[in-house]
Amino acid sequence: MWSAPQEMRKIGLYMVDADAQQAALALARMAVLHPLEEPGGEALPENPAAPYHEVYHDLNSRFGKISGFIRKPLEAPAESTRLVTLDRLQELDQQLKALWAQISALEEQIRRQNERIAAIRQLANSLQKFTSLDLDLGRLRRQGRFLRIAVGTIPAENFNQLRSALSLTKFLIKTFYSSEGINHVVLFGPSQHREEVQDLLQSADFRGLVVPEEFTGSPTQLQADLDLRSREAEAHLRNLQQELYDLIDANMATLQSARDALLLAQPYASLGTVLKGRGGLVYLQGWVPAQREDEIRQQLVGHLEYPFQLEFSKPGQQEFDRVPSLLKKSRLLRPFQGLVKNFGMPGYREVDPSGLFALSYLLMFGMMFGDIGHGAVIALASLLFVRSYPGVTIVGVLAGMSSLFFGFVYGSLFGYEHVVPALWMSPMHDPVQVLLLAVFWGAGFIVIANLLAIRNFYAAGQFEQAYFSGKGLAGLLFYLAAFYAAYQVAANGRFGWLEALVMAAPMTVIVGFQWRRSSGGLVERILVVFIEGLEHVISNVSGTLSFLRVAAFSLNHIALAAAVFAIAGMLGSFGHGVTVVLGNIFIIVLEGAIVAIQCLRLEYYEGFSRFFNGKGRAFEPLKFET
C-alpha cells in the first residue's frame, strides 16, 4: 500500500585517473549512481574531469546548433564501452567548429538574401502604386546634373526623422503609399548633396528602386525587371539552402562520429565538478541503491584495469536530507507517482504515499462520480491515449472502473436511476446518511494521514515531534477525542467531563510542546502558542468537513442528470434523445474534470500536507543520455 523510497548507500570509489572514464561508463550503463559533489579540500584539490567537461560542453553546444540542420536520422552507437579520449573530443570539436563557421556564413547569406527578396517585393508593391503618380520613371535612371530623384521604401517609424533630416540637404520626401509598417516614398533634391543623402538614407534603412539601363519608361518593363530579380534572388536563396544541406550531407560521417562521441563521453564529462583527485588518484562519491552493491562491485572489477578501493556506507541520520529518493518502480503506480511528485518529492526516510494515494483517489472519484455508463465511457475513452499518454490511460481506465463500480452501488446508468437495481442505494434516497458517511471517510483519511506523519517523524529520528506535536501522537489522540466528543454531542446531546478530559489531555501536551519550542517574550510566546493551538483545532475541523464534498458531488451528479432529463422531458422524441446524449457528454466532460480536480485537492491539502513535506531530492543517476 505504501513504502519508503529505496534503501541507499553512500559509495566512495578511489581509483587511478586512467580508469575514471571506464568507471563512469560502467556506472552509467547500470544507471545506479547519483553523484555527490563535495569539496575535495586540500587532500584532493584537483578536478581531473574538468578539462574534459569543458571540451565536451563546447562540442555538445556546437553539435546542438548543427543538429537542427540534419535531415537524416543518425544511428545509435554500436557499443557503450568505448572510451573517448580528450584528444578525440578536441579533434571533433575543431571539425565541428570549422563546419559551423561554414554553416553560420551560409545562414548569414540566407538571412541577407531573405531581406533582399523582401525588399524587392516591397519595391514591386511600390511600382503597382505608380499608376496614381504623375511621374516619368525614366527620370529615375537619367539622374540630372541638378536634380536627383529616388523611389523606394523605408520603415514607417523612420519616416518623420528622415524627413526632418532631409530638410538640411534641401531634399523633399513624400509617401505615396503606406502598408504594414513600410512607407513607399519618392524623394528628390539637388544633386550636389547626393553623397550626404546616400549615407543618410542608408542609416534610415531606405531600399531604393533601381531602374535598369535598357528602361524605356514603361512601368510594365520595370515590373518585369523586378519579377526577374525576384526570381533570381529566390533561385539564389534555394541554391544557398541546397548548399547548406549538401554541406551537412557531406559531413554526415563527422556528425555521426561527434554524436557517438558525445553519447559515450557524457557520463565522464558530467562528473566534471564531482570527481576530485590528486596526482593521478581520483575519488568519486555518490549514492547508490543498497540492493545493487554486489552488481556494482562486480562490474567495476570486470571493467577497471587498475586496482581500486570501493566503500559503501549507510547514510547517517544527519545525512538524510541529502540522500536522494528512489521510488519503487511500478508500471501501474507510475502515473500516480507523477501526481505525488507534483506536490513534492518524498524525502529519503519518508513514506512514498503513491499506493495509498492511488487507492483513495480512485475510491473518492468513484464515490463522487458513480455511474455505470459514465464510468464505462471514461474507461474506454482513456484507451485512445494508450500510445501517446499511457499514464492518462492507466488513471482514466482505473477511475472509469471505480466510477462504474460505484454506478452499480448507486444503481445509476447514464443518469437513469431506475434501470439497474442499486446494490446499496442512490445517494438521493438518503442524503443525510451519505453526508455522514463522507464525514467518517474524511475522519478515517485524516487518521491515516496522522499515522503516516508519526511514522515519518519516527523514521527521521524526530521522536519528540512524533509523540507530542499536533501532527504526532498527541495530535492524533486529540483528533480522535474531538471526534468522539462531537459524536456524543450529535448522538446523545451530551458533553460531559469525560469528553472534556479526553480532549484536554492531548491538547495540553500539544500546547506544552509548542511552548517549549517557542521563543521570544512572554506575551509573544503566549500569543504564538494560543494561535497555533487554535489553528490546530480549526484545521482538524475544516479538514474533516472538507470531505463533505465527496457526498456533495455524488448528490450533484444525480442532480445534474435530473436537470438534463427535465430539459429533455420538455422536448419531442428527437430533441429528447439529443438532449440526453449532449447532457451526458456535458456531465462526463465538465463534472468529470471538476471531480478529478476536487479529489486531487483533497489528497494534496487534507492528506499530503499533514504528513509529507515533499522536500526530498529525486534520484538522478549517471546514465547515457539518449
Partner 1 sequence: MSGFSSVYLDTRLTVLARRLFSFEQLIDFIELDLERILAQVREHTGYDYTVDNSNPRLIEGQLTNHALDEFRILIRPFSGSERRFLQFAIRWFELVNLKVLIRGKFNAIDSDLIEEQLIDLRRFADLPIKQLLETDDPYEMLRLLETTVYGGIVRPARRMYEEHGNDLFLLDATIDRSFFIDLHYHARFLDSEDAENVGRVLGGLLDRFNLLWLLRYRFSYGLSPARSFYLLTKTGNRLHSAQLLRLARLDSVEEVVVALPREYRELLANVAGISDMETVMEYYSLSLAARALHRLPNLLSRTFSYIVLREAEVRFLQALIKGKQLGFENDLIRQAVGARA
Which residues would be at the binding site for partner 1 (CB under 8 A)?
61-62, 65, 97, 100-101, 104, 107-108, 111, 157, 161-162, 164-169, 196-197, 199-200, 202-205
Q: Report in angstroms how near the CB of residue 190 gets to partner 1 at its nearest.
A: 13
Closest to partner 1 by CB, 190 vs 431, is 190
Closest to partner 1 by CB, 147 vs 332, is 147
Q: Report in angstroms how near the CB of residue 203 gets to partner 1 at its nearest.
A: 6
Closest to partner 1 by CB, 87 vs 199, is 199
Q: Is residue 101 left, alpha or beta, with left meaning phi > 0 and alpha meaning psi from -120 to 50?
A: alpha
Closest to partner 1 by CB, 240 vs 474, is 240
Closest to partner 1 by CB, 162 vs 261, is 162
What type of residue sits at position 423?
Answer: L
Question: Residue 166 corresponds to which cell in the numbers above?
Answer: 532631409
In whole angstroms, give the CA distance from residue 283 to residue 304: 14
What type of residue sits at position 546?
Answer: S
CA dihedral 533, 537, 539, 540 (to 10 degrees): 140
What type of residue sits at position 139?
Answer: R
DSSP 457-520: HHHTT-HHHHHHSTTSHHHHHHHHHHHHHHHHHHHH----HHHHHHHHHHHHHHHHHHHHH--S
DSSP 78: S
- Hey, is 442 helix, strand or coil? helix
**Helix, strand, coil shares, percent, the chain, to 5:** 65, 10, 25
CA dihedral 122, 124, 128, 131 (to 10 degrees): 110
Q: Report in angstroms how near the CB of residue 52 gets to partner 1 at its nearest.
A: 17
To 10 degrees, what angle do helices 50-67 and 252-269 make? 140
In whole angstroms, give the CA distance from residue 34 to residue 39: 16
Closest to partner 1 by CB, 101 vs 618, is 101
Report which secondary-structure segment, H or E, holds 12.
strand 8-16
Closest to partner 1 by CB, 251 vs 412, is 251
Closest CA to 172 of 181, 183, 164, 180: 164
Closest to partner 1 by CB, 81 vs 198, is 198
In whole angstroms, give the CA distance from residue 624 to residue 626: 6
Positions of E strands within 85-204: 147-155, 172-179, 182-190
Closest to partner 1 by CB, 164 vs 309, is 164
Closest CA to 268 of 459, 510, 89, 389: 89
Closest to partner 1 by CB, 106 vs 439, is 106
